Homo-oligomer: A and B are copies of this chain.
């Protein structure tokens, strides 16, 4: 009879935490989508004790064994033990990946997913380091919105996301990379899809998870400064601009609390107003400066174009200004192929084929850049 033991995440030396979080490991809080843990284990059975909570938007969980997703499930409120695998040949070492498959949910102060313990009858084995580190920064596309659900489904809820059938996961797998994802549906460079300037990803870049609100998230450290020295990416991939584009065609003035927002304006001929485009351009330049300030050695790759390309000239100007001003030689813009008919998932967002082709293109470019910069 094999011995059954339970471990805190803090007590497993070869466990790797994925995604930005605080130093606390007991329990370990998972704020962002695609955050979680990975470990190598030699056992017949493995269980994970998690705790979940939510107001409206429940967290979902993915379990992958040796790279194959075996379970994907909606979590209930409270503590619950999930069986990762059982009745397995215990003489084989398997790689286990457990991921939060739900974004940070700024609209739900109750959102919570924590790992309290890992139980097994086996042993944890060494976990080799990956070949590189990538930080992805994006919006709904990067969150995998539309990755789950039927093509015609239009409801926005926790179930419409997928962080595995997702270009972030696929790119990292292709490059054997450890990665973080910072992404939020609707958010942009300068403003969100309705023109709200609070919905700009750069505002939250220096915090652990500044998007997560409410007293519990605050107490858990979501708003504290992220320690950039602890995890320096080799590549920063920014995929923003699609919601800034959308803000120009948002119909009607939007009220944030008691405030009326200044909408992004269209010219009479239907093109975006130049002054408002300037705001986006400035925000992009400033974000590039911030990224470089915090990550002196990283290759910066700004990608854009999976859902329309109207912001491309603005991004070209921003990148040119940034490169000229800074003298930086390790930042560039990369256009992505548009999502074509047949490549969509639910919610009129990029589906599996669109994510797959995007991942292939990005992985090829990163491989090239690393070769040239080697």
Contacts and interface: CB of A to CB of B under 8 A. Distances in A.
A66 B152 contact: yes
Nearest to A374: B316
Contacts of A155: 87-89, 92
Nearest to A312: B371
A71 B68 contact: no
Contacts of A175: none
A361 B155 CA distance: 35
Given A71-B72, A89-B155, A372 B319 contact: yes
B148 A68 contact: yes
A278 interface: no
Interface stretch (A219-227, A240-248, A259-267, A331-339): A331-339
Interface residues of A, number: 48
Interface in A327-374: 332-335, 337, 346, 361, 364, 367-368, 371-372, 374
Contacts of A326: none
Contacts of A67: 150
A65 interface: yes
A185 to B, nearest CB: 14
A158 interface: yes
A83 interface: yes
Of A72, A148, A159, A334, the most chain B CB neighbours within 10 A belong to: A159
A196 to B, nearest CB: 22
Interface of A: 56-58, 65-68, 70-74, 76, 83, 85-89, 92, 148-155, 157-159, 312, 316, 319-320, 332-335, 337, 346, 361, 364, 367-368, 371-372, 374
